[in-house]
Structure formats: structure tokens, C-alpha cells
Structure 1
Amino acid sequence: MGKDLDDRLSNLPDDILLTILDRLNVRDAARTAVLSTRWSKLPAMLSRLIINVWDFRPPDVSEFREDEFAQTNAAAIEATKSMLERRDSTRNRIHQLSVTFFLRESDPISIGHTVAQTMATHKVGMAEFIVLTKKEPIGCDERDLIDYGQQFMLFFDACPDAFAGITRLHLENLRFGESDISNVLVTCKQLKDLRFLNCDSEGVTTLQMEHSQLSELSIVDCRLGKVMLNWLPQLTRMTFEGWIAFHYALSVVYAPLLEVVNLTNVGLSWHKMIELSKFLRGTSVRDLKLGFKSEKIWVQPECLTKSLSSVFCQLRFLNLDDIPEGYNLTWTLFVLKAAPSLKELWMTVRS
């Protein structure tokens, strides 16, 4: 029965077998190469390559030792090289290439050079770097942010060709220098999705953001001073959570397609309140989430004005999350009055 089943699978056309393998992680897909000569050729033809360092960790390991970080990263690097260097450049476009790895010594540079060579010889659609650090955000101190930031910039400076072709970049636990983020935006010309988690920029009071292709931006628990979206003509989705510089930490200058916005912050009693008409001017917001992990509502009620109406005239979905107990809904009325096309209103109250 086993042999008959194997024969049935082997008799299927390549495109069906590749569809099956595309649903496996790279480690498991590569293992199928031992089944037969025919199967050995299939991993090099995959259109989706999702190489995640977590798929290579030792079994039953929840917390890594230093040697296990090295071994796991090395396994991910070897898989990246093996899968990419064996490909036939005349066949099978890579629709998705995603590599998740730890920021450790020279390991990222090795991955960057391999990815850059692949981009030079193959057609690659979406390409993604998810750069992890050994410490979780909650465990990082200032020294960690500085060290990780320096390691990332060494990687970035060593692999400009790889960064020029990536479309998604996720970073965590980094301290950026004065011009680092600007250099990333200039070099990553194809970038569509950029995410920062627990990053800061010492000495930089204003982050000026300009990019012709960026469509998704996520800034979570970061200390980047004031963020100015100066020119993001393709931006459609933005998450801005846990900012530290509270009053007008975000300014939208030109993001006319921005329609999905998530704003979540901790508002303390001494913080100034935010006027959404100023915070969101210049957008086309249709889906808005406001999160309140705080002792007070940080949104300032406003009179219905032309400016306020222009901000909310296209609003369809409003999610008010984690509202402090004891607040009535009078503070939301100005939004409801300014949003004639609203279809759904969701609210959760924190007790």
C-alpha cells in the first residue's frame, strides 16, 4: 500500500506536487528530496520559500543557550544557501522569499549576500527580511539597543544589493543613528511594508519619512521623536502604538491613500490630549482603531468643523478598544457627527 501511494504521488504533474510542497516549511520540504530522484529536484523549483529560524531550533527547547543560537542560525543560513543556490534561473519564478533570522555576528551578511545573488539571477516577487534579536523587547536595556543597532547597520552597509530588492522589512530592538532610517528608506527602493518594534533614535527629534512605494507602516513601542509622514503616496495602512513623545508625535503631511489606521497609547493624567483632526489630516481614513491602555481618554472632543469633517467623511469602521471604566460616550459624539458614512462601531470597556 505504501509503495502504491508513493507511485500515485510520483505520477502527479510537477505543478501539483509543488503546490503540496509550498504548504510545508522549507525544512520539511527539503526532506522530501530523499524520496526519489524526481522528488530531489522539486525543492529547487518552489515558488514560495519561507525560511524561518524557529523551524530549525532543537526540539523541546523554549529558551536558547548561546551555542543553540549559533547552531539554529547556522542551520537557517545553510537552508537559505542550499535552497537558493540550487535553483535553475531559467525556470520557476520565486513569488515569495521570506527569511527570518537572528542578528548575530556575521550571519546576516552571509544571508544578505545569498539573497542578493538570487535577486541578480532570478525573478523574485515579494522578498522579506525579519530580523530578530536574542533578547525579547521587554528584556532589552540601552546597551542592547545600541549593540543591536550597530550590528544591523553593519549588515545593512554590507548588503546594499539585497536591501535594494526587498519589499518587506521587520526590525526590533535597535537604536538608530541620525541618518540611519533615512538611509534605509533611500536604499530599499522596492519597500512596501516596514515595521519597527521597540526601536529608538537617540538625538533625533524628528523622523522625516519619504518613500514612493511604502504601503504599510507599523511603529510599535518606539521612541523615534516626532514622526512626519512627509511623502508616502502609496501608504494605505498604519499602526502607531505606544509612542513616548505624546503630543502630536505623528504628523501626516502627504499620505492621501491612508485608510486603515490603528492608534493605541497610554494616556496619563498629565498628558495633553490629541485632536484627531490635526493628527489625521491629509488621510482618507476608512477603518480607525483607537486603543486606550490608560487611566484617561487621550482624545480631545472637537467641534464639528470643515477640517474635522474632511478627516472622517469616508470613515466606515470605528473600533474603540479598552476604554477606561466610568467614561460615558459624550467624547465620541464629535466623531460620530463627522462620520456620516459610518457602518460599524465596536467598543470594549476595561473594568
Structure 2
Amino acid sequence: MAKLRRLVRGPRTVREDRLSALSDDLILLIVSRLDTRTALSTAVLSRRWAHIPRELPVLDFKVSDILPPEYDRTIDLRERELPREMALFYGLMAWCEIRSTKAFTDGITNVLATDGIARRRVRTLRLEFFCKTDGGFVDRLIAAAVGAWGVSDLEVVVRPALSCHHDDGYAPPYLFPHDLLDDSGRSRLCSLTLGNCTLPPLHTYEALATLVLQDVAASTPVAVYERLFNDCKRLEVLHLKSCGCPEEEFEHLVVDAPGSAIRELLVEECAFSHITLHAAPMLARLACLGRTTMISFGSVPSLTHVNLTFWDSEKPYEFLRNPPAATTSLVLRFTGPTRWVLPRHLTTPFRGLKRLLVANLPSHWDVSWPRVLLFSAPLLEAMHIHVAQYSGEEPGEEIGWWDRRKLRHRHMKELVMIGFASTPRQMLLVKDALSVCRHSLRRLTLLRDGHVRYSGLWDWEMVARQPECPWRADDEIAVRRLIKSASKQLVDVILG
């Protein structure tokens, strides 16, 4: 830093401080492009630069930004059962964690010791530290940030230290300093993320609009999660990630909150095997990723976007027994080891569904199964299907269907299928879609290879790749003959 100052200021005989001559807006622009630790270090460059970091709206103190590259590389080797010398492995990990934790605590101490701390203004504070970190420093920082700095967006995530696993000791969650926050501080928080932390009485955080809970202890009763829907009156976004609950409570989450304002709900890799949405009048977006195998819908009149992704060993069943009528966009992804779906006709149709994605459909299934959804969604406009690569397993049971000549679909405009291999059941799916949507289908895309590009949880794009095995002449002739015989209204046909 001293060398940099000499280079910028020029010879010692010249006393002009060019760094101090920069405008506040330019200094703030430079500092805002740096990470938090570097931005705070610029105070040594010039007297005027010392007060600029106090104006940063976002502060990030993350131990992952301090960890050396060897840490992640060694973790990767450990997952591949290397190195075999466990003492060496844990010794290296402990050294990395101790060094990074010291740098983390030193940074917080320096911030708290800065003169004029009460004049600092911060909108967002993000903290990430190891479970063995002295919580006193973090407690003081959180209290100062929420109380004096005006932080309204707080994120506290505790990483498990590998040394805890080595000692086979229990690493308790971080005790969130709820008692250090006064009523005005609690009422100021609009967004709160807690990872591996004890849960404060969240109903006292009156302005809370976004809440993210992750790695919550398995001893947490299901009732704690259920109360969030009724107690947090202004809550609009709720994300539950890797949240546990006692096994004796049947792992059943019931949402019955007619007064809830929650519009977005994400349940990812949680212990809930069954979710029942009795009443959630404002819920518009639902994403359920992971272990949940049963979802029951009650009064969800605003639910327009649904993402259901299954990857556990259990078989998802009854997940569409009573689909919500307001749903316009549906994503179904099957990425688990069994990759199974119950071939059952829907008792209640998707009356408002317009966009549908069925992704990671195993090639050994009867891939004509999405016909169930096609014929149960009278307003469907776009149907996208992604068939996974050949798994080598035996073909599954074929799914029968009623006479398609009695069915007519008047809104279907686009059918895209990635992983098309001209198998009999795939040809049946295309034939049925062309026949039933004879007067509405305008675009048919059949691709040998490609992938789904996701934009968030509820939007996607079908992306083509140059296939390793191009179309055989007889396959292309058969498909084009099928298209010509089934529909004459197609404007665009793409075979790639």
C-alpha cells in the first residue's frame, strides 16, 4: 500500500495527494467494485478514503472468501477417498479453518473498532463462518449492524468445521443474538437468512417479508414451521432448505393459513415426506425439490407456477391427485435413482395450464406418459419434453390410453422433444399429439441431443446440441410421413 501511495503521489517533493483529490462518487464507485475485506483495507491509502467504506450499502464477511484453494481441492480428494492418511487430511483442514477463522474475526474486530461506527450506513450484511468461531464477535457485529447501521437484509450462515466431525463431537447451532436486538431493530429487518442457527421468535420481526431457513436441526418440531405461515403476517417469500423434524411426527407439513401473505414457497431437501396445502390464498409460486413424495392441494387459488423435482429413493405418488386450477406453468423433473412416476390418469384436470416441462424422463420408461398431462390440460399451449440418455435398464410397463379420436385440443401450438430416438413409444407420443392437436399445432421440434437451460425455478429454455449420431435416413422419412399423415397445419418442423 505504501508503494502504491508513492507511485500515485509521485516524488516525495510533491505533496499533492491525488487519491484524496478524487471525488467521493468516484471513490465510492471504485470501492463498491471490491470485495468487503479489500474495500475496508483502502482506508490506508488516504485520509479521505478512510470514511468512504462506511457508505458501502453491502458488507460481506464470508470465511469461504478467505479459505485457500487447497481447502476445496482437499475436500474434493477426500470425497474420492484420497488421501488415505487421515491425520494429514484433518491436520491440513484444521490449519485452513484456524487461519481463515482468525482472519475473519480480525476483520470484524477492525470494523467494530473503527471510529464513527454509529455513522456507518449499511443495507445488507452477509456473514458466513465456521461453527467453532467465537460467537461474541458475531453477536456484537449483528447488534451494531441492525441497531446502529440500519441493516434491513441480514444473512447468517454457519459452516460445519471438519474438525467437529473428526472429533465425533456435536457442533451445536449458532445461538442467534435475538436478545441483543431491540424492538426497533427487529422491526427494521425485512429479509432474514439463517443457516444452522437457532430460530428466534420470528413473530416479533414484524416487517419480515423474506425468510430463508437452512440446515435447521432435526429436533425442530413441524409445528414451528407451520406457525411461520400464520405468525409472520407480512411474510411473502419463505424458503426452507435442508430443514429437519422429528421422525415421530410423520414428517407431515400442513399449511392452513387463510390469512397468510406468502406468495413464494420453496421446500428443498427437507424432511417433509408429505405436504398438505389446505389454505394459502396468496401463494403464487411453489417449488418442491427433493424428498417430498406426496403433495395435496386445497385452497390455493393464486398458485400459477409449480416446480416439482424428485431425486430421493422413494417413489413420488399422489403428487398430482388434485392439481390446482390456477396453475399456468408446471415443471416436473425426475432426477432420483429410481426415476419412477405413477402412470395414473388425473381425476381433476389442469384447467389453466399453458406451459409444461417434463425433464429427465428416463428412456426406459414409457415416455408417452406425458399424454396424461396433455389430455388433462385443455388450455396447454407449449409442451416440452426432455428424455434422459439411455440408461441401459429394461423397458418399463407400457401405459394404455383411450380412443384419441374422441379428443380435440384447440390451444396446443408447440411441441419440443429433446432426446428423440424414434422408439415406438416416442413415435406414439408424437402421433397422438399431432392427431389430437391437428387444428392448433404450429411448431414441432424433435432433437436428438440437447439440454434444458433453467432461468430460476419457474422458467426454462430448450437448447439444442449437435447430435453425435445424426438422423438416419429411414428414421427421418418415417417421422415426416407420420407428420404429413397426421397434420397438415404445421408451419415449422425442426428435426435436429
Q: TM-score, normalised by structure 1?
A: 0.73
AA in 1 matched with 2:370:
T
Larger Rg, first or second structure (1 or 2): 2
| 3-state SS of paired residue (2:271) | coil
User: Unaligned stretches of 5+ in structure 1?
Assistant: none
Query: Where do residues 327-346 of structure 1 align in structure 2 (5 Å cutoff)?
Result: 327-337=365-375, 338=377, 340-343=379-382, 345-346=384-385
Identity percentage over the alignment? 20
Q: How does 1:134-213 map to 2 (within 5 A)?
A: 134=161, 147-148=170-171, 150-152=172-174, 154-155=175-176, 165=189, 167-169=191-193, 170=195, 171-172=214-215, 174-178=217-221, 179-181=223-225, 186=231, 192-197=237-242, 199-205=244-250, 206-209=252-255, 212=260
Per-residue deviation at 1:26? 1.1
**Structure 1 counterpart of 2:55:** 45
Q: Distance in 2 between matches of 1:54 and 1:7?
A: 36
For 1:176 and 1:85, locate their aligned partners in 2 and report how far apart those are by CA, in whole Å: 38
* Candidates 54, 59, 69, aligned match of 2:97: 69
- What is the alpha-carbon distance in structure 1 between the residues aligned to residue 325 and residue 156 of structure 2? 31
Q: How many residues align?
A: 332
Choose which of 32, 41, 45 in structure 2 pairs with 1:35.
45
SS in 1 for 2:152: strand
Does the 8 Å CA contact 2:279/2:299 hold for their aligned counterparts? Answer: yes
Match of 1:219 in 2: 267
Describe the shift of the 1:3–1:55 C-alpha distance in structure 2 as closer, same or farther (beyond 3 A). same
Contact 2:20 2:47 in 1 (8 A): no
Letter in 2 for 1:125: S
Question: Alpha-carbon deviation of 1:47?
Answer: 0.6
Question: What is the CA–CA distance in structure 2 between the aligned matches of 1:212 and 1:84, rounded to whole Å?
Answer: 39
User: Which of 169-178 and 34-43 deviates more?
Assistant: 169-178
Structure 2: distance between partners of 1:159 and 1:216: 30
SS of equivalent residue, structure 1 residue 194:
strand
Shift, 1:332, TM fit: 0.7
SS at match of 1:331: coil
* Equivalent position of 1:124 in the other structure: 151
Among 251, 257, 265, the residue aligned to 2:310: 265
In 2, Cα distance between equivalents of 1:121 and 1:200:
36
How far apart, CA to CA, are the structure 1 residues paired with 2:161 and 2:253?
A: 27
In the other structure, the counterpart of 2:123 is 95
Change in CA separation of 1:91 and 1:340 when aligned onto 2, cut-off 3 Å: same
Give the counterpart letter for 1:340 in structure 2.
L
Residue 213 of structure 1 deviates from its aligned partner by 5.6
Question: Which residue in the other structure is 1:350 paired with?
Answer: 389
What is the alpha-carbon distance in structure 1 between the residues aligned to residue 309 and residue 33 of structure 2? 34
Could you say if the C-alpha distance between residues 72 and 191 of structure 1 is closer, same or farther in structure 2, counting changes exceeding 3 Å?
farther
In structure 1, give the amino acid aligned to 2:336: K
Shift of 1:24: 2.2
Which residue number in structure 1 is paired with residue 453 of structure 2? none
The residue aligned with 2:67 is: 57
Deviation at 1:9, TM superposition (A): 5.9
C-alpha separation in 2, matches of 1:135 and 1:191:
36
Q: Which shifted more, 182-191 or 48-57?
A: 182-191
| Bigger shift: residues 336-345 or 3-12 | 3-12
SS of equivalent residue, structure 1 residue 274: coil
Counterpart-to-counterpart distance in 1, 2:95 and 2:228:
31
Separation of aligned partners in 2, 1:4 and 1:105: 41
Q: What is the one-letter code of the residue matched to 1:45?
A: E
The residue aligned with 1:308 is 349
Q: Would you say the 8 A contact 2:315–2:338 is kept in 1?
A: no
Q: 1:348 to 1:166 in 2, by over 3 A?
A: farther
Tell me by how many angstroms 1:54 deviates.
0.7
Q: Give secondary structure in 1 for the equivalent of 2:41.
A: helix
Distance 1:230 1:26, change over 3 A: farther
Q: Which amino acid aligns with 2:345?
A: E
Structure 2, unaligned runs of 5 or more? 1-5, 11-15, 75-91, 196-213, 391-496
Q: Distance in 2 between matches of 1:116 and 1:230?
A: 38
Please state whether the residue corresponding to 1:117 is helix, strand or coil.
Answer: helix
Q: Give the conservation status (yes or no) of the 8 Å contact 1:276–1:300.
A: no
